Amino acid sequence: MPEVRGIGVATPIGVSVPSFWTGATRGRCAIQRDAGFERAGLRSQVCARVDEDELRASKWWRTAWTEEPRHVQLALVAAAEACEPGLYIDSTPSRRLGLVFSTAMGRVDNLETGATSKLVRGRTHARHAILGDALAREFDISGPVIGISDGCTGGLDAFITACEMIEDGDVDACLTVASDAPLATLTMAAMDNLGVLSRRNDAPELSCLPFDRARQGMVMAEAAGALFLCGGRPASSSTHLSMAVVRGHASVSNCRSMVSLRDAAADMARCARGAMLAAGVSVQGIDHLNLHGSGTRQNDEAEGAALREVFGDHLDRIPAIAIKSLTGHGLAASNTVELVAEVMVLQTGLLPPARGRGSDNPWGVRLVTGEAAHHRAVTGLKMNHGFGGFHSCVILSRP
């Protein structure tokens, strides 16, 4: 079974795993009102950005990355942290080292600026760097390089693809990274017109409230996450110890609508059951849940109904976490950041709290709110859902 040997993040609540985890377990919310979106007259003016000073002060930051697009910068910092111990980067032949990366939108403001320049001046200054190329070059990866771009499950699907490459013997180790920097007027206006964004501009810290009757919608964010996976061969030193074991995974697409989750509960349930079947665990074998928790009514209703269908009465006894209420929704990157959070739950036995009270929850989902909860975490189910009817689940356990 593939094992997680390294993790890294660049998020609005911390640009390193220790900083991110401290922020998450203390319930720190990084969602703020954005003056630029306010000046643009957008109805939704809240978002979550990675702190620029913290990013450039990071021990992994390199001045050579200054001219890279934002999503590439975030990805490189997160990946450098995940690979910091050396792991098998140095000992694995580069042809046996794989890379699976994901981005839903990349850096939209770069595209927006370039398009405007083209229209106004007849030329473009947009720099269309390729995320996978930058990562492969930086970490000397000459094995298989695969890009996944299927929206809000992209990070989890990249992780699953990396696991499959290891399971099939295609590589000995694999770096999986997801990064998005979608905070541009173009993206915000489009998502706001869909009616999915929160408009709680007067109280940004309460903008994303999964499973709460005061919810208004999701909050856009930028972020990056990275995990280094190995095939479970013996570690060569104490710095290479397994952090988590991948027990099983599954993906489902209902292929019905680009934006609607109508009738999705059954597909979400089928995906969760598929992951548990692959892992060889029963509902009693799952002791905590790591939810998509986007803060939209549609997601809450479908995810809650699916969980009740799968777990039945056992759902009443399983605590659940929802990180997006603190970090916002970083699209494909949010999956990978939440996977890093799952590894930390297994490592520390702490469940970070979500904002709100979880007060609109007829399905009985036990969302952790208020303060972090101590929990004997052994095996967790991570689930994500996205536009286009994509659903993916991964089950991780302590080594």
Q: Which residues are catalytic?
A: 152, 292, 329
- Contact between residue 149 and residue 390 where contact means Cβ atoms under 8 Å apart: no
Residue type for position 128? H
Dmax over Cα atoms in the chain, in whole Å? 63
3-state DSSP percent of the chain in helix, strand and coil, to 5: 40, 20, 40
- Strand segments, DSSP code E, in the chain are 3-10, 32-33, 46-47, 97-102, 145-148, 173-180, 223-230, 244-253, 288-290, 319-321, 350-351, 366-367, 373-374, 379-386, 390-397
Q: Is 211 left (phi over 0), alpha (psi -120 to 50) or beta?
A: left
As a whole number of angstroms, the distance between CA 221 and CA 46 comes to 9
Q: Could you tell me which of 209, 253, 179, 258 has the C-alpha nearest to residue 361?
A: 209
- Contact between residue 345 and residue 382 where contact means Cβ atoms under 8 Å apart: no
Q: Could you tell me which of 32, 60, 141, 56 has the C-alpha nearest to residue 94?
A: 141
DSSP state of 232: S
How many other CB atoms are there within 10 angstroms of residue 124's CB atom? 15
- Residue 379's DSSP bridge partners are 397
- Contact between residue 218 and residue 296 where contact means Cβ atoms under 8 Å apart: yes
Q: 245: which 2 tokens?
A: 């074991």
- Contact between residue 178 and residue 102 where contact means Cβ atoms under 8 Å apart: yes
